[in-house]
Structure 1
Amino acid sequence: MRVTSLLAATAVLLSIAPAATARETVRIRDIQGTARVSPLVGRRVADVVGVVTGVRGYGSTRGFWFQDPEADADPRTSEGLFVFTGEQTPAVAVGDAVTVTGVVAEHYPTAEGETPETTPNQSVTELTGASWRITGRGSAPVEVLGPDSVPVEYAPQEGNIDKRPLEPERYALDFYESREGMVVRVDNARVVGPTDAHRALWVTSKPDQNANERGGTTYTGYTDPNSGRLRVESLGGDAFPAANVGDQLLGATQGPLDYSRFGGYVLAATRLGGHVPGGLRPETTRPQGRDELAIATYNVENLAAGADQARVDRLAEGIVDRLAAPDVVALEEVQDNTGPTDDGVVAADQTLRQLTDAIAAAGGPRYLWRQIDPRNNADGGQPGGNIRVAFLFNPARVSFVDRPGGDATTPVHPVAHGERVALSASPGRIAPTDPAWRDSRKPLVGEFLFRGAPVIVVANHFTSKGDDQPLHGRFQPPARVSAEQRAQQARLVRGFVDEVLAIDPAARVVVLGDLNDYGFSPALAPLTDGAALVPLAAELPPVERYSYVHEGNSQQLDHILVSRAVDADYDLVHTNAEFADQASDHDPQITRIRFWRP
């Protein structure tokens, strides 16, 4: 939360350094210093000169940027600075030459429950309690960010980098910090993250950096977070473009460089390039053949009964048209009948009925469903929402084997059934009371029959990455505190698969869903170590493995893995994540298992 009163701001500053009463005449470069934290924090400085380069006249974080037009020779010291005026719109305009007096502060953007001391975010050096005089008109230089401007190496891996001397020629985060508050420009920028609900999008200054075939920038490993990514927000009141991945902002996009907890460094644009659509279209997979069992996974993003019918219809049309009506669909983020209302309701039959009715209305099959109601508020997600995984299946093509005994707390086990393997309960949940599933969705296991042959499907939604530190933060490498829980979950799912294969080594097993982690993450290694399960995305080049776009990084959170006995193809169907207009924030994916009649 932003500190908006001078009294509160001073209290924060006193906790960092003693405030001095003497006024010092300094330049912006002296305030910014050669590290992230100003050497003058807490001090009152006078008559700091510069030219106004941008004005934020909205919200509770109003103020203006100004920049010294006469740079020094030290590449570590920024020549730009933000003047924070709280909820008061400053009476200045771009191009005004000003002298400013105020208190040097380090503002740490914080989320709920964080303090400036505990937040993982970097700080913004600024002046608070400020006064200023307009002395004339002027201009400030603009730095163009070309393909070679920002270093590829992202950050020093040395813990808290707040007070570490900047090396802008070596590290991307140091480069951006050394330009904090200065005007930067990206020409003919390609969009790598679509416009969101907050009038922001992502571009890259490095068009060749891990570029995928649809225009995005793919996150392929922890050591390469794609340093060219930059968030763009507009300071103007003009219409903001609804841009998709692969679109272009033709011409110059420029403005002061800010920092936000929502993605890190932000180009606060006083000028936006012209929006040129790239022509990206949602993908469509092929229909399954007569002897192919099509199984898909789709995170439907907090779908609840009574949801906007237009959105439900779009999800339905996507399943029918884009996914060619799979025989089985594993859904993630299905909420209960009252959605986020925390009223003790856990049933989701109305939610699933609304979706399946819409699918039938769109020309698809009359899907049936199987799921298990969770205990109230035990599975994470929105409080009261009781999200869970669920199966839809087309009874005209595939049969569900119902076996009693599955409930919220009873574990399912594989059992011998003649020469084959079966489930002790179908549907059932894997080790639902194990601590690995604390405040997280439990895997749903179902036994299906296709052409008389059994297939065991394990639908998953692993715990989220919400508690992890950000890529752009002051702690490097960022702590991925949620990964251990996902690793525990992966071990339990893998243990279940191993039990299945111990009974029937030729069993057809499909493990799929939103695993909330990347294919290269050690947290998912328990699923892929050894020969039991094959990750189907491994068939694709690394830059094409993605189902989600976050902070301009196309990344793989959703997965399908199959046992060795499965003969299948695979398609990652890009229908949502790259687009400003989304039915869900995830892309679905599908596998088609091939069967041959004897």
Structure 2
Amino acid sequence: MTISRRPAVGSTTGVRRATLSVAVVTGVVLSGVAAPAALAAPSADAVIAEVYGGGGNSGTTLTNDFVELGNRGGTAFPLDRYSVQYLPGSASPTSTWQVTNLAGSVGAGARYLVAEGKGAGGTVALPTPDATGAIAMSAAAGTVALVNGTTALTCKTAADCAADPRVKDLVGFGAATVREGSPTAAPANGTSVSRAASLADTDDNSADFTVGDATATNSKGETAGGGGDPGQPPVDAKIHDIQGFTRISPFKDKKVGDVTGIVTAVRGFGSSRGFWMTDPNPDSDPRTSEGLFVFTGSTTPAVAVGDAITASGTVKEFYPDAPATSNYQSLTELSSAQWTVGSHANPLPAPTVITPDQVPDVLAPNTGGNIEPLPLEPAKYSLDFWESHESEIVSVSDARVVGPSNSYDELYVTTKPQQNPTPRGGTVYPSYDKINTGVLKVQSIIPFDQQPFPKVNTGDVLTGVTSGPVEYSSFGGYTLFASQLGAAKDSKLQKEVTRRQRPGELAVATYNVENLAPSDPDTKFAQLAHGIVDNLAAPDVVNLEEIQDNDGATNDGVVASDVTLKKFTDAIVAAGGPHYQAREIDPVNDADGGQPGGNIRVGFLFNPARVSFVDRPGGGALSSVDVVKDHGKAHLTQSPGRVDPTNEAWTDSRKPLAGEFVFQGRTVFIIANHFNSKGGDQPTHGRYQPPTRSSEVQRQKQATVLQSFVGKLLTADPGANVVVAGDLNDYQFSPALAKLTSGGYLKDLISTLPAAERYSYVFEGQSQVLDHILASAALRGVDYDVVHINAEFADQASDHDPQIVRFRPSAGNKLADWAYDLADYVDQLLGRTAPRK
């Protein structure tokens, strides 16, 4: 599954956003416990616009912490008798709110700067503040409130603060206990949390604020000076000098002047506004880019494409998070810039036309460390190729879509249409050392009222030319910010429909339904239900992953999911499907990862008209299922039962659920799974190559526990029918799957498909495997299918595609199995689909 990697906002191109997901892999499952969200009404006028707590800390530029206010309203907002107050992120019983009194007013659409504690470091003072305090705020986590009054607040929880009518606005940043909605991502010494330029207030801090450069602005519109020595004169430099031949500018944190170029594109919306300029007189070094982004923050720059610019400012390396610990690459940009326009309507430098053979097939040098200091080799490595064209205009023609458009208004194309293509138009991810280097993310910098962002599926084509500046983004790697966007051509990709099982076949499916909760719209339930009925042909058993509790991601101690499951099974009946029954085990509250309060779990749906479930008591959140042998046959001690749930392998992760089923007199063991996510892995396109996949350690432990349990079943009965299925959050070539298939107990059925068809998920344009069905040798006539109905489409009920296996279970008796198989063969010849009597 995928929890939102970024705030979901409208035209978000270029918004500076904090990252949660990594690598070429799955959506992230976050774990942990959070306090109830604050629910105060959004402010219509004065709000907190920016908070910075790293002032004067080691390695920072600004000397002071600050709080910046903004006014969304149409008239000045008086601040007399108001204050800003600060509470530590993890407030103890003895913690108190610290107060800075305010005076004057914040004008309509204006800012108001409150200077706070000063540290020993930093080189640049804030612009003249409108109010001054001495609060030493944390750089990483805390709560700031705008308060109608000057008496210190006493609330210590989000709910209590939301109920205090004196609180005008509130932001909890980092791991703050007191916050509105969810807290913001964590800033660091060199970054702040800031609200979008529109000052939109939804009372969800994580949606309203993003992490980026600290940009203190006072009521006069004055901003802090650039980095480095304030008295340092600027050094004249050309763009290629600034870019240099490594990823880090030789002018980093220095002032430069006489930077000349032609404006090639403008971004006039979002919180990362600015313009790109290119020097029309390049040098002869293919490693040095001739393009540069000029960052203007929340201010729309007064320039036009074709303007000849002479600029000065401070060279910065922008990271989406703390530079010292970031796993991502940086963007070289000009900050705190001033410029003059020499002339207008100049011809633009010719774009770099990207052809199928131009981008290298190898991703990056395999150094085992940080590649930033290395000289670029653009003819050898694809990451180096794109870096050598950073902020230049590039163009692609008739580009095939390999990752559908999403809610963040982005899509992925391939510049190498013959690189590992899938039969349905995607690009399959074959191994760790064969990243598809042709994949390129596309966003738009064209205002959506001029050209709406296209809604496209995998295999569609952006016809004609798509062009614009290219730069690195932590969300998907190098990105073409389109100032010219090709027209979408529909490839008519169809959602797949699998065949119905025959009377003698048992059909078992697995489906990650992506945080399904009763609060989800009826349309989601209906779409998922039709997927099961129409596309999966009503399997006999469905393993479900990511079923949430009865009130979804409300963190109030509720763990039961009967309401969720009933709403889903009712939707299946309404879609024309069978009356499924459900089996699951409620987890310990907030112990299984996922959205705090959501309590996602795995479970079974089964059609009692076709298959029976053996209910055997004793299963619980912390009780462990075992295997017993009776008359030569294996049985579970609990059904349903959790597999070794107290083992540390399952910390903050879902526990496998084992169930015993009977189909036409034959016992079948099915184990539903949802392994830990890839959260914490370094990204494939980051500055560390090869990336460290730290999350693999836990999945290998989980695979070890599960493989041992399957071994118990097959030791007790070597002919047992065993199906292991679910979202294993890992690839078919991963160490976890190698462990799970070791010993010869299980076969991973994805490996039976042609290589180009091995995928169930699309992430950052790479079609890949996260979901699996594994089968023991006793299963006969195995017919396996990945049913593509979600991952390749812009319209998704889930981000995963379901899978299904049909098979004839063994009775452990050759003569009985022969007769059974003969009857199934007759059914097949006659086309029978009705259940056998």
Partner of 2:406: 196
2:800 to 586, 589, 595: 586
Paired with 2:741 and 2:303, the residues of 1 have a C-alpha distance of 59
Paired with 2:349 and 2:340, the residues of 1 have a C-alpha distance of 18
Within a 5 Å distance, the mapping from 1:265-414 to structure 2 comes to: 265-414=478-627
Paired with 1:569 and 1:179, the residues of 2 have a C-alpha distance of 48
Which letter does structure 2 place at the counterpart of 1:120?
Answer: N
Q: Give the alignment's Cα RMSD to 1 decimal.
A: 1.7
Q: Cα offset for 1:18? A: 4.7
CA offsets, 1:339-369, max 9 Å, x none?
0000100000000000000001111000000
Matched, 1:187 2:397: yes
Within a 5 Å distance, the mapping from 1:128-167 to structure 2 comes to: 128-137=335-344, 138=346, 139-158=348-367, 159-167=369-377
CA offsets, 1:370-427, max 9 Å, x none?
0000000000000000000010000000000010110000111111122210001000
Paired with 1:565 and 1:289, the residues of 2 have a C-alpha distance of 18
Matched, 1:554 2:767: yes
Q: Cα offset for 1:530? A: 3.2
Q: What TM-score do the two structures reach when normalised by structure 2?
A: 0.70
Paired with 1:504 and 1:566, the residues of 2 have a C-alpha distance of 13
Matched, 1:70 2:281: yes
CA offsets, 1:133-162, max 9 Å, x none?
111132112001110110000011111011
Within a 5 Å distance, the mapping from 1:155-554 to structure 2 comes to: 155-158=364-367, 159-237=369-447, 238-554=451-767
1:23 to 234, 249, 262: 234
Change (3 A) 1:11 1:478: farther
Paired with 1:183 and 1:528, the residues of 2 have a C-alpha distance of 48
Which SS does the other structure have where 1:356 is aligned? Answer: helix
Q: Cα offset for 1:542? A: 1.7
Which SS does the other structure have where 1:425 is aligned? Answer: coil
Q: Cα offset for 1:466? A: 1.6
Partner of 2:75: none
**Residues 193 and 551, structure 1, Cα contact 8 Å, conserved in 2:** yes
**Residues 217 and 553, structure 1, Cα contact 8 Å, conserved in 2:** yes
Paired with 2:750 and 2:743, the residues of 1 have a C-alpha distance of 17
Which letter does structure 2 place at the counterpart of 1:174?
Answer: D
Stretch of structure 1 that moved more, 14-23 or 98-107: 14-23
Partner of 1:56: 267
Paired with 1:107 and 1:60, the residues of 2 have a C-alpha distance of 14
Which SS does the other structure have where 2:743 is aligned? Answer: coil
**Residues 2 and 61, structure 1, Cα contact 8 Å, conserved in 2:** no
Change (3 A) 1:2 1:198: closer
**Residues 5 and 86, structure 1, Cα contact 8 Å, conserved in 2:** no
**Residues 102 and 128, structure 1, Cα contact 8 Å, conserved in 2:** yes
Change (3 A) 1:333 1:525: same
Paired with 1:392 and 1:133, the residues of 2 have a C-alpha distance of 67
Q: Cα offset for 1:525? A: 1.0
Stretch of structure 1 that moved more, 156-165 or 448-457: 156-165
**Residues 352 and 394, structure 2, Cα contact 8 Å, conserved in 1:** yes
Matched, 1:35 2:242: no
The alignment of Structure 1 onto Structure 2 pairs a total of residues equal to 594
Question: Structure 2 unaligned runs (5+)?
Answer: 1-15, 19-49, 64-121, 124-188, 191-226, 810-816, 821-837
Paired with 1:590 and 1:542, the residues of 2 have a C-alpha distance of 18
Paired with 1:510 and 1:371, the residues of 2 have a C-alpha distance of 17
Paired with 2:664 and 2:572, the residues of 1 have a C-alpha distance of 24
Which letter does structure 2 place at the counterpart of 1:231?
Answer: K
Q: What TM-score do the two structures reach when normalised by structure 1?
A: 0.97
**Residues 195 and 244, structure 1, Cα contact 8 Å, conserved in 2:** yes
Partner of 1:120: 327
**Residues 389 and 470, structure 2, Cα contact 8 Å, conserved in 1:** yes
Paired with 1:134 and 1:417, the residues of 2 have a C-alpha distance of 87
Paired with 1:503 and 1:216, the residues of 2 have a C-alpha distance of 44
**Residues 430 and 444, structure 1, Cα contact 8 Å, conserved in 2:** yes
Q: Cα offset for 1:10? A: 3.8
Paired with 1:566 and 1:433, the residues of 2 have a C-alpha distance of 31
Q: Cα offset for 1:2? A: 6.7
Partner of 1:574: 788
**Residues 493 and 527, structure 1, Cα contact 8 Å, conserved in 2:** yes
Question: Structure 1 unaligned runs (5+)?
Answer: none
Q: Cα offset for 1:523? A: 2.2
CA offsets, 1:178-197, max 9 Å, x none?
00000000110000000010
Paired with 1:316 and 1:59, the residues of 2 have a C-alpha distance of 38
**Residues 61 and 228, structure 2, Cα contact 8 Å, conserved in 1:** no
